[in-house]
Amino acid sequence: MTNSRRLISFDWAMKKLLRSKANFDILEGFLSELLNDNLSILEILESESNQETENDKYNRVDLKVKTQTDEIIIIEVQYDREYDYLHRLAYGSAKVITEHLEQGAPYSDVVRVISVNIVYFNLGEGDDYVYHGTTQFSGIHNHNPLQLSPVQKELYKKTHVHEIYPEYYLIKVDNFDDIARNSLDEWVYFLKNEEIKDNFKAKGLKKAKVELDVMRLTEDDRQAYEKHQDDLHHQASMVKSNYDAGTLNGLKKGIEQGIEQGAMKQNQENAKAMKKAGVTSSIIADVTGLSITDINLLSKS
């Protein structure tokens, strides 16, 4: 039998707790399970939305960390539906690259970026819940992959071409079926349900279960967290309401347009039949509502 306790959401933890060096091992656990690597965080870096401001939005949270291998990992949580979100992933990684390449530095100093995105809306089409994207080159004739030369491998300390370019991870939380088949699934289960079961053994979750306990928050932080959760529910309701209203309006307009098009087609067919029967264009126009010009054109078609 497994027990659960109420835990704060991962986005709130990113805002309030995971920036502390004392809690790096929680974040390291998550990233290690996702990247299938024993990852170590060196420091938290400033990014455009990881600071508290008066305009702080609750639908997007990001965190930028530097690893001990000098890679930069962007972690972003997004609640609102964004159809161009995939484009923003490309922009975000490119921005980090340019921010961390000093003027006059060689291109070989381009920083390695890993973009981790946790989304709570249906992005694109696909029934998986974790997606991984890299940049690779293959021959258009022989389909063989482009490889680094021995000299490049030595200079850049890379084994494969794709290790030079940004790497993307996309977790579509709502697609997860709540069955934890492996240690990464245990993390996804937490991301979706804000719950860590006693039998979960993934890296970082044991400490997360303690540190992210709502009951450990101060009274002020607990009230702020409750407001944050209410804001998320309100935001989700607003998005759904707007989407439903748009869908209904679109459906209504579509039905009306379909009826109009159907009536027009029927009138055209009736006009053709009457014209063939020798009925004058003026009478046909009175009956069908079509113009005499349209009736004459129909008779020629």
Structure tokens at 189: 């289960």
- pLDDT tens, position by position, 55-73: 444 456 789 999 998 999 9
Regarding whether 212 and 242 lie in a shared domain, the answer is no
Judging by DSSP bridges, how do beta strands 167-172 and 60-67 pair with one another? unpaired
Show the domain range for 281. 238-300
| Number of domains the chain is built from | 2
Q: Are residues 206 and 100 in the same domain?
A: yes
> Which residues does residue 45 pair with via DSSP β-bridges, in sequence order?
64
178/274 same-domain check: no
| One domain for residues 166 and 62 | yes
- For the stretch 200-258, pLDDT in tens is 999 999 999 998 888 777 777 777 777 766 666 555 555 555 555 655 676 667 666 76
Sheet holding 167-172, edge to edge: 41-45, 60-67, 72-78, 113-119, 167-172, 130-133
pLDDT in tens, 21-55: 999 999 999 999 999 999 999 999 876 544 444 34
Same domain, 179 and 273: no
**222 in a domain, yes or no?**
no
Q: Answer whether residue 227 is part of any domain.
A: no
Specify whether the CB–CB gap between 111 and 100 falls below 8 A.
yes
Do residues 15 and 115 both lie within one domain? yes
State whether residue 26 is helix, strand or coil. helix
175 and 280 fall within a common domain: no
